[in-house]
Amino acid sequence: MWINPWDYSNRIFEAMDREFSDAEDMLTRLIGTVRESGSPFSKMGPYYYGYHITVGPDGKPHVREFGNARPASRGLIQQSNVREPLVDTTFDEKQSLFIITAEMPGITKQDVKVKLQEGLVTINAEKGDKKYHSEIPVESELDTDTAKATYTNGILELKLKLKQPPKLKAKDIKVD
C-alpha cells in the first residue's frame, strides 16, 4: 500500500493550526474575563519599557530606561502612572552646547516644568492622566542663564551652554 507523504505533512499542519486556534481562543476568553471582572489590571493602559544607550563625551556608555513599566523581582512587571519619556542627549563641541530632546506627546508647553541643578536636569509634565518624569545626569557645568527650551508637536528640546572656564591671563614669573 502506497502512502502519500504530502498527506502526512498536511495533517501535521492542520493539527498545529488547531492548537494555535485553541490557544488564541483561550487568551481571548482570559482577557475578556479580566476586563469584565473590574480587576485593576483592566484599567491599566498599555505597558511599555525600553532603554536607550549612548556613548558620552567621556567615551563611557550611558544607559537610560524609559516607559511606564519596570521589571520587578521574579520577572513581574510593575506599572507606574508616571511615564519616563524617551530622552536623547547630544553635545555640540563647536558651540559648547548640550542638547536634550524628550518625547512627551499629549501635553502642552504650559504643562512642562524643567529644573536645572548641579549635575542634574529634571523634566516634569502633567496633563490629565498623562504624567512624565525624567532625571538626566549632567557631568559638565551648565550656564543656566543661557538655557532655552522649546516644545513642539510632543517634542521638548532643551539647549544648554556649558560654562566657559575663566581664561587665565599670562603672567611673567621672575626666576631667582
Q: What is the CATH number of the domain that holds 110?
A: 2.60.40.790
Residue 27, classed as helix, strand or coil, is helix
E strand segments, the chain:
49-55, 61-71, 77-84, 86-92, 97-103, 112-117, 120-127, 130-137, 142-152, 155-162
> Does 171 reside within a domain?
no
Task: Tell me: pLDDT of 50 over 60.
Answer: yes
Q: What would the pLDDT profile of 90-141 be if each residue is shown by its tens digit?
A: 888 888 888 999 999 989 999 999 998 888 899 999 998 889 999 988 887 8
Query: Distance between CA 79 and CA 172 in Å, rounded?
Result: 64
One domain, residues 79 and 16:
no
**Mean pLDDT of the 36-51 span:** 63
**Mean pLDDT of the 16-26 span:** 84
Number of domains within the chain: 2
Q: What is each CA distance from 19 to 6, 22, 31, 36, 102, in whole angstroms?
A: 20, 5, 18, 26, 44
> Does 67 reside within a domain?
yes
Express as a percent the part of the chain with pLDDT over 90: 19
Task: Tell me: pLDDT of 74 over 70.
Answer: no
Parent domain of 140: 45-162
Query: Distance between CA 157 and CA 88 in Å, rounded?
Result: 10
pLDDT top residue among 144 and 176: 144
Nearest residue to 52 via CA among 81, 78, 90, 82: 90
One domain, residues 98 and 82:
yes
One domain, residues 60 and 108:
yes
> Does 176 reside within a domain?
no
One domain, residues 24 and 56:
no
One domain, residues 127 and 55:
yes
One domain, residues 12 and 64:
no
> Does 136 reside within a domain?
yes
Query: Distance between CA 75 and CA 97 in Å, rounded?
Result: 40
Grid coordinates of 102? 524628550
One domain, residues 25 and 75:
no
